[in-house]
Amino acid sequence: MKMIEMMLQTHPRADTAQTAERAAVIDALAVCAQACGICADACLGDSLHLDALRPCIQASLDCADACGTTARLLNRPVGMWNAPLHVAQLHACAVACQLCADACDAWADEHSHCRICAEVCAHCKEQCELLLVELASAETQNSEEAAFSS
């Protein structure tokens, strides 16, 4: 989604120094939301193991919801005032991705869609955590600047 990066670059309030990183997270979230949606339905289509697949289906539905909403929030570039929300939602999303990656990974040998979904979730979790680190360091920097200027 090169398009996302291009759009963020022309957003009047986006920090252009970080558009590539930000676009990568939104891209990972959008892909993960679709992967989890497909995986949940594909698992529901496996009549042989349906009973055992229920935690996997639930984790995928949860993760699709968490990723979808996290992407929507990140589409509105973070400012200082809403940074705590972005941090909290990214954290929730990383938890959802980890739970779904674990649940799908257990079925990686049986289902190609579970194997792919586990990989997509692991990548998405990584992207969320990279952005969390970046937001934390931005906050520290802002606090220090505030301390100096006061």
Q: What is the largest CA-CA distance in the chain?
A: 66
- Separation between Cα atoms, residue 78 and residue 127, nearest integer Å: 16
State the DSSP code for 69.
H
Choose between 59 and 131: whose C-beta lies nearer to its own copies: 59
Choose between 76 and 142: whose C-beta lies nearer to its own copies: 76
Least distance from its own copies to the Cβ atom of residue 40, Å: 8
- Chain-centroid distance, C-alpha 125: 6
State the residues that interact with its own copies by CB under 8 A: 1, 3-4, 6-14, 26, 30-31, 33-35, 37-42, 44-47, 50-51, 54-55, 57-59, 61-62, 64-66, 68-69, 71-73, 75-77, 81-82, 84-85, 88-89, 91-92, 95-96, 99, 111-113, 116-117, 120
Least distance from its own copies to the Cβ atom of residue 48, Å: 10
Choose between 19 and 147: whose C-beta lies nearer to its own copies: 19
